[in-house]
Amino acid sequence: MTHVLIVGSGPTGLTLAIELARRGIEFRIVEKSTEPPAGVRGKGLQPRTLEVFDDLGVIDEILATGREYPSLRGYQGDRVVWEGRMDELREPSASVPYPNLIMQPQWRTERILRDRLAALGHRVEFGAELTGFEQDGDGVTATLTGGERVRCAYLVGADGGRSTVRKRLGVGFAGETFESERMMLADIRTRDLDHDHWHAWGSLETRAVHFTICPLPDTDLFQLVAPGEGDIAALVAEHAPHVRIDEIVWRSDYRVNIRMAERFRVGRVFLAGDAAHVHSPAGGQGLNTGVQDAYNLGWKLAVGSEALLATYEDERMAVAEHVLGLSTRLLRTGDVRRGDDTNQLDLAYLGSPLSVGERGGERLGTLFAEQRGTGLLLLGEPAGDHPARVLPPLDGQRGVILVRPDGYIGYHGEESGLSAYLSGFGIEAPLARAAR
């Protein structure tokens, strides 16, 4: 019997797998596709996700092969009519070590995460599709392609917006599909544009965008995005006849969906990432929210106490609802700017049962090197033994602060209440002994 079966190997499923692997938890991660996906799809990594990737041990390659978003260049035909940025580049600081949005093709993000998982001794099982499952009080029995039956304590559906897991649970997926808002997405090659700008064609009078062509870092590819449907080559020829498309490497047509699952958990089965919430592309929130679903859930599955697992749905549903509202608003207003609203640094778990005290639920926002790894971090000068690494108190701090493995403050208060807090959620010393 394996502890966790992860269904889906996108950024959400891979993040969860790494979290379990570095804690020594038995799991399997299965993917119905026979090989890793092609095409870019999501490409923006927000500052908070970069902090997560630092903790997972992949930040160096993410930054080495990615880049900050280039400046925008607007055209009428072959004439440049506007230049500017959609974000303000910022310098790193002690509280925000990765302040800027990083462009990284999703296929490469997934490859980097798979390589990290392999270094931890695990791999994705491609060509293994979940065909059914049933659960009881002791676990879940899942059936895979070919009739293999897998017994696990918990099952996590990270299998995308058309999630088999969600559908078989019978969980509603409330929201809207905008039939009239269709988009074309393609990876292309052209020798007629530079790789230093994000190129855009549109109407200055109506502010309508015909299409954009964005260079993808550390590749010879560009990503083309256009509203509607049709012939990409003909569209480019109409508005930018000086730009010749040498090759369309990959293409996808999609409708804008804004939906959220009515539950993120049913018994021993959890939903995460696009299986739980799908966003408009505005603001670059979808991939990042899924990664942080997994970052929230991983350490809780490792502990395995019911009291702790019960906080996943409470915490992540509130975040997903907020982020869906943000991305929908950006879609409706056409605002392409990025910054404090979209970087996800201000997301918090205020009001969660796991958040106790004045600062409970806040992102700690400092001591990032000390937070690396899988254990708890205790700030203060406790008198007794605790299942956490202990550091001196922060300036002006009263009492002790217990930092969760995902970087948020769980407990802030007098030391006398700490033991009851830990035992109430089933958090014991072994959690602190695992290391990166």
Question: The CATH number of 368-433 is which of 3.10.129.10, 3.40.30.120, 3.40.50.1100, 3.40.50.300?
Answer: 3.40.30.120
3 state SS of 399: coil
Domain spanning 2-67+101-175+257-333 has what CATH number? 3.50.50.60
Residue-level pLDDT at 67: 97
How would DSSP label each residue in 374-397?
SS-EEES--SS--SSEEEPPPTT-
3 state SS of 114: helix
Given a cut of 70, the residues of the chain with pLDDT beneath it are 40, 179-180, 282-284, 327-339, 382-391, 393-396, 429-436
pLDDT, one tens digit per residue, over 82-139 is 999 888 899 999 999 999 999 999 999 999 999 999 999 999 999 999 999 999 999 9
Residue type, 67: R
Contact status, residue 234 vs residue 106, Cβ threshold 8 Å? no
- Which residue(s) pair with 30 in the sheet? 7, 125
Residue-level pLDDT at 38: 81
pLDDT, one tens digit per residue, over 366-379 is 999 999 999 999 88
Residue-level pLDDT at 435: 27
Q: Which run of H or of E encompasses 185?
A: strand 173-189
Query: 2-67+101-175+257-333 with 368-433: one CATH topology?
Result: no
Which distant-in-sequence residues (6+ apart) come within 8 Å of 209 by Cβ? 200, 201, 202, 226, 227
- Which residue(s) pair with 348 in the sheet? none
Predicted TM-score (pTM) of the model is 0.93
Contact status, residue 247 vs residue 224, Cβ threshold 8 Å? no
Cα gap 136→140, rounded to integer Å: 6
Give domain limits for the chain: 2-67+101-175+257-333, 368-433
